Amino acid sequence: MSLLSVQNLVTEFTTDEGVVRAVDGVSFDLPPGGTLGIVGESGCGKSVTALSIMGLLPQPNGRITSGAVVYQGEDITQVDDARRQAIRGAEISMVFQEPMTALNPVHTIGRQLTEAVALHTQQTAQEQIATATEMLARVGIPEPGIRMTEYPHQLSGGMRQRVVIAIALICQPKLVIADEPTTALDVTIQAQILELIRSLQQDTGMAMVMITHDLGVIAETCEQVVVMYAGQVVEQGTVFEIFDSPKHPYTKGLLASIPRMDSAPKSTLEIIPGMVPSLHELPRACRFANRCHYVEARCEAEPPEVESLTASHKVRCLKWAAL
Amino acid sequence: MGGPMSEALLAVNDLKMHFPVKSGLFSRTKAFNLAVDGVSFSIKPGETVGLVGESGCGKSTLGRCITRLYAPTKGNILFKGVDLAPMTHKQLLPFRQNIQMIFQDPMESLNARHTVGEILEEPFLVHGIGNRQSRHQSVTRLLDIVGLPSRSASRYPFEFSGGQRQRIGIARAIALNPELIICDEPVSALDVSIQSQILNLLMDLQKEFNLAYLFIAHDLAVVKHISDRVLIMYLGQIVESAPSEMLYRNPLHPYTQSLISAIPVPDPHRKTRRIVLRGDVPSPIAPPSGCRFHTRCPIAEARCSLTSPDLLGKQPQHEARCLLLEGST
């Protein structure tokens, strides 16, 4: 059975210019211990999907208007606040992109770690401190006892992200949602954090949703991949299906347009022309039609449905079979 | 490196930029931030030199010294043989046309209260070039070159997407036919599908106008793609310099090797043997003794903390700063 099953999720925001649908019918399943990557560009709805799962949509403008987020058999979009609080942090937790904004600058590292333990367990203050110190050591922070008493600004960017990960993992959640966890970091620090996440996942057996725009990070960390564009899933499959035989023109375009270390120097890069449409003025049928190399008349008339190629590989394109 | 001085468009010689770190009651200078500490390299006309390093390595400071947004502490910046380093603002004015800059975040570098037309007209006004009509023609031509519709001239920067704003930044940079453009992380704020559009535009403009670029970025794959030669910078110093293909095939410095191995490769079949560096980049205010990289180096020996290595040629056009490579060829 799936640990997490997102079913036809629709999330809308009320804005000055009307209601926009930031997430439009997203579905995926994640088995216990699995890793699923959501990849897409700014505004594709990947972060809003994460916030919808966590129940952290900005209020009062954001809301889930239909669909379900089923965690261990329970639709967590329908539960009351108390139940949601109990799940969030203990069962499902989140790692944010920018550790400086995710951490509270006026509280010590120790206080921010023990807060979660105090909320979700019956531990005494002494035990909470021991748990927190041990967790800091586990994410590779030297001298954890001293760090407990320090403030976020006293740590480097990489160390702060380790603290954010420690907070997310301190109650041993079964699912962690990581929203661009390494994007703000330097490449050698990113390597450290990806190693850390990998080894923690091996030790604890937690499942993970990794949200990123970096196809390299997806290829290295994920088993399943969901490609999003303008609020919809355009393709999903195993990491091998997506990278070895991408079917959607957008996935193909993304993979072809990134400079690689072994590409010919100064060669012209493949491009996806134009830019992501605004959520206020989405194309009526296929949302990628105005940027697609293979577009034809019916693409602008008939909205494509998701079709299954294999049990795991799905694509939303009228022409995938002909490409 | 890079041939004799005479053919270099830009030759930077032992450049140092030490920022005073002030503290205490009377703001006395207590220490210096050695942001750029003895950098030498050159750029030929029409060439792209990539400059790669992590946050705080001094790569942006180096770019800002060359455009003389900063007055360097020491060293020479020879542009076509003329030293810009000691010049006053007035003396620099005629050279500013020739050396332009593209910034990471065009939203911050474009004046939000001016229309795109006004932004692009400004360089001509500052340098007193042309009349009203010819300036307007130039604006239209510039917009066309960077792939924006001419009606963009009457709109404001906030009306454009990130990629389009970067096109405006590029149009402003090429307005006065410069010979050298310092590109400071020009694509790092952009989405993947837009990044390749901008990189292609920069490569096309280079061919068309024989532009030389100093391309500063932290993404080695992007830099390797666009550059003829790549410099790797660590804590204010260049630790390796090589033609981009050679740097990728045969990196010599342990820092370069770890940087290359740290890049996540978009290929799920590749199981990388990754060199994960310990710790963080030390502070440039008190860089480590000896080799500045020895605190994080996976192969450091005792002598590395005592002796500073020099940047030495190991192969033709390939230099590295590492004691363990000295004596070998």
pLDDT tens digits in sequence order for chain B, 329 residues long = 444 445 899 999 999 999 998 877 777 887 899 999 999 999 999 999 999 998 889 999 999 999 999 999 999 999 999 999 999 999 999 999 999 999 988 778 899 999 999 999 999 999 999 999 999 999 999 999 999 999 999 999 999 988 999 999 999 999 999 999 999 999 988 888 899 999 999 999 999 999 999 999 988 999 999 999 999 999 999 999 999 999 999 999 999 999 999 989 899 998 767 888 888 888 899 999 999 999 999 999 999 999 999 999 988 899 999 999 876 54
A 47-76 residues with CB below 8 A of B?
A: none
What pLDDT is recorded for position A99? Answer: 81
Q: Do B218 and A191 touch (CB under 8 A)?
A: no
User: Cα separation of B235 and B240, whole Å?
Assistant: 13
Domain ranges of chain B: 5-98+178-325
Question: Which has the closest alpha carbon to A226: A212, A244, A206?
Answer: A212
- CB atoms inside a 10 Å sphere around CB B113: 8
pLDDT one-digit tens code per residue, A162-211: 999 999 999 999 999 999 998 888 888 888 889 899 999 999 999 999 99
Neighboring chain A residues of B268 at a CB cutoff of 8 Å? 219-220, 239-240, 243-244
* Position A278 confidence tier, pLDDT thresholds 50, 70, 90: confident
User: Cα separation of A218 and A204, whole Å?
Assistant: 20
HSE of B68, CA atoms in CB hemisphere, 13 A: 22
Tell me which of B161, B193, B213 to substitute to probe the interface with A (most A C-beta atoms closer than 10 Å).
Answer: B193
Q: What is the distance of C-alpha B217 from the center of its chain?
A: 7
What pLDDT is recorded for position B272? Answer: 67
User: Cα separation of B120 and B170, whole Å?
Assistant: 10
First to last CA, chain A: 34
B265 → chain A, closest CA residue: A216
A242 → chain B, closest CA residue: B268
Give the number of A-B residue pairs with CB atoms closer than 8 Å.
136
Minimum distance, in Å, between the CA of residue A303 and any CA atom of chain B: 23
Tell me which of B202, B208, B213, B267 to substitute to probe the interface with A (most A C-beta atoms closer than 10 Å).
Answer: B267
- State the Cα torsion B115-B117-B122-B123 to the nearest 10°: 140
The answer, yes or no, to whether the previous bond of A60 is cis (omega within 30 of 0) is yes
Strand partners, A56: none
pLDDT one-digit tens code per residue, A107-121: 999 999 999 999 999
What pLDDT is recorded for position B29? Answer: 81
User: Cα separation of A130 and A134, whole Å?
Assistant: 6
What pLDDT is recorded for position B6? Answer: 52
Q: What is the DSSP letter of A88?
A: B
pTM of the model: 0.90
Neighboring chain B residues of A213 at a CB cutoff of 8 Å? 191-192
User: Cα separation of A54 and A60, whole Å?
Assistant: 16
Neighboring chain B residues of A227 at a CB cutoff of 8 Å? none
Q: What is the 3-state secondary structure (H, E, C) of chain B?
A: CCCCHHHCCEEEEEEEEEEEEEECCCCEEEEEEEEEEEEEEEECCCCEEEEECCCCCCHHHHHHHHCCCCCCCEEEEEECCEECCCCCHHHHHHHHCCEEEECCCHHHHCCCCCCHHHHHHHHHHHCCCCCHHHHHHHHHHHHHHCCCCHHHHHCCHHHCCHHHHHHHHHHHHHCCCCCEEEEECCCCCCCHHHHHHHHHHHHHHHHHHCCEEEEEECCHHHHHHHCCEEEEEECCEEEEEEEHHHHHHCCCCHHHHHHHHHCCCCCCCCCCCCCCCCCCCCCCCCCCCCCCCCCCCCCCCHHHHCCCCCCEEEECCEEECCHHHCCCC
Q: Do B54 and A275 touch (CB under 8 A)?
A: no
Q: Does A281 touch chain B (CB under 8 A)?
A: no
What pLDDT is recorded for position B5? Answer: 46
Q: Do A253 and B193 touch (CB under 8 A)?
A: yes
Question: Which has the closest alpha carbon to B53: B261, B256, B294?
Answer: B256
User: Cα separation of A219 and B9, whole Å?
Assistant: 41
User: Cα separation of A296 and B55, whole Å?
Assistant: 46
User: Largest Cα–Cα distance of chain A, in whole Å?
Assistant: 68
Q: Do B277 and A218 touch (CB under 8 A)?
A: no
Neighboring chain B residues of A216 at a CB cutoff of 8 Å? 263-266
Q: Do A269 and B196 touch (CB under 8 A)?
A: yes
Backbone angles phi, psi at B5, to 5 degrees: -55, -35
Polymer length of chain B: 329
* Position A254 confidence tier, pLDDT thresholds 50, 70, 90: very high
- The CA distances from residue B238 to A154, B14, B91, in Å, are 28, 11, 29
- Which CATH code fits B5-98+178-325? 3.40.50.300
Neighboring chain B residues of A214 at a CB cutoff of 8 Å? 264
Tokens representing A27?
């579905």
Report the relative pairing of strands B237-243 and B229-234 from DSSP bridges.
Answer: antiparallel
Closest residue to A216, CB basis, from B164, B227, B263: B263
pLDDT one-digit tens code per residue, A22-50: 999 999 999 999 999 999 998 899 999 99
Question: Which has the closest alpha carbon to A98: A178, A38, A172, A197?
Answer: A178
Neighboring chain A residues of B199 at a CB cutoff of 8 Å? 259, 269
Please work out, in degrees rounded to the nearest 5, the angle formed at the alpha carbon of residue A12 by the alpha carbons of A8 and A18: 145
Minimum distance, in Å, between the CA of residue B225 and any CA atom of chain A: 5
Q: Do B192 and A258 touch (CB under 8 A)?
A: yes
What pLDDT is recorded for position B329? Answer: 46
Tokens representing A93?
């937790």
Neighboring chain A residues of B259 at a CB cutoff of 8 Å? 187-188
